[in-house]
Structure 1
Amino acid sequence: MIKNIIFDFGGVVMDWNPRYFFKDHFKDDEKMEHFLKKIVTDDWNGEQDRGRTLAEGTEIQVAKHPDWEMEIRAYYDNWTTMLKSDIPANVAVLRKLEHSEYELFGLTNWSAETFPYALENYDFFQIFDGKIVVSGTEKLIKPNPIIWNVLLERYQIKAEESVFIDDNAKNIEVAQSLGFMCVHIKEDTDLERELGELGVEF
């Protein structure tokens, strides 16, 4: 029986992409893609999501790539521009679930320094009533299975009674190995239909 529904945030309910800022900054897609894939990599950004401060992460990368200093410093200075908007279709599903029989949780890879901005500016985060595990606060990051265990133990819930929603295939794979039912969000995913097929009632 499904009792809990757990949402990842980025790519599920929030549309975040550094290209929203750097496309106008560079006005050169090839240069932008080089910068995002080779200089400010996903692994580098992930360390800030794991709890390293934005300032420390910035200085480390500036030291490695001094020719890109201006662009590297612009990354977190313009982070709110990269957080373009919510994802309306999936937020609508979340709102439908607000008064349902299910407990709702968040489990997100997000810097502890930047997450408060989203929390303050998008009211639907209040639906979770504080039941959110943030990687930057925990100093743990998906797909490390320990972060799912933090959620399970903190809120005394069971994986086999829970649906986990994420846009990252590796995170889905780990969650399934821990016993969660899962919805892998892709570009064409109909979240309400997928949840319904698992047995979630709206």
Structure 2
Amino acid sequence: MSSDKAKAEIRHIVFDIGKVLIHYDPNLPFSRIIPDDAERSWFFANVCTHDWNLEQDRGRDWVEAEELLIAKHPDHVESIRAFRKHWTEMVPHAYVESVSIMEGLIAQGHDVTLLTNFASDTFKEAIKLFPFLTLPRGVTVSGDARVIKPDLAIYQLHAETFRLTPSATLFIDDSMANVAGARAAGWHAIHFTDPQTLKSDLAYYGL
């Protein structure tokens, strides 16, 4: 971080959700559904891939997503449908320390919002599982916006929706690509690795 960033007046703090505030791991249910490690690795590399799942974050309907894969991989119907069916098992707990940091910032009167790559329907489930997601002033969900990080458009949309001044905005995300996207939008950005480092990074910005 450069010294000019340390002097920045941060008025808006934007949190990512997955792997920053809540844990996410598709292997949790699939270690039971496909017990063999090699077979499970193949399934995630060739069937329910990261890129396939990302299209649901971009707004694609789950039924359409499943049918696309079933047409290509008819021998894996049950496993394909299991991805959405057992989604809640993939998000087993919150990161208590990270949530505490966010809640503390809100309690201190800071303007906090959320910007997340999340399918629209699973986000609604996440709110029921983790009510603290309703504490910030608002959220931009990629599945509703139909654009995903690190596309510049989603940062611009978030800033416009919540009237954020980019140069006074600080973004927190576990993905370096998403951090780079925020910086390209004129925001300050922190790469999240763990809560203790986040505390230090926030202190650097005077928060």
Partner of 2:154: 147
Partner of 2:65: 57
Partner of 2:5: none
- Number of aligned positions between the proteins: 199
Q: 1:96-144, CA deviations, whole angstroms, 9 ceiling, x for partnerless residues?
A: 1121232000000000011011112212112114x10000001111111
Determine what percentage of the aligned residue pairs are the same residue: 31
Partner of 1:40: 48
Report 1:115-134 matches (<5 A): 115-129=123-137, 131-134=138-141
Which of 5-14 and 170-179 deviates more? 170-179
Report 1:1-202 matches (<5 A): 1-129=9-137, 131-186=138-193, 190-200=197-207
Q: 1:188 to 1:32 in 2, by over 3 A?
A: farther
Q: Give the partner amino acid of 2:166.
A: A
d(CA) in 2 for partners of 1:17 and 1:87? 13
TM-score calculated relative to the size of structure 2? 0.92
Q: 1:58 to 1:148 in 2, by over 3 A?
A: same
d(CA) in 2 for partners of 1:193 and 1:96? 14
d(CA) in 1 for partners of 2:109 and 2:71? 51
Q: Give the partner amino acid of 1:12.
A: V
> What is the Cα deviation at residue 27 of structure 1?
1.6
d(CA) in 2 for partners of 1:173 and 1:67? 39
**Aligned CA-pair RMSD:** 1.3
Structure 2, unaligned stretches of length 5 or more? 1-8
> What is the Cα deviation at residue 187 of structure 1?
5.1
d(CA) in 2 for partners of 1:34 and 1:107? 31
Which of 13-22 and 186-195 deviates more? 186-195
d(CA) in 1 for partners of 2:116 and 2:86? 21
d(CA) in 1 for partners of 2:205 and 2:199? 10
Q: 1:121-170, CA deviations, whole angstroms, 9 ceiling, x for partnerless residues?
A: 212112114x1000000111111110011111111111110110111111
d(CA) in 2 for partners of 1:42 and 1:186? 21
> What is the Cα deviation at residue 9 of structure 1?
0.4
Q: Give the partner amino acid of 1:2.
A: I
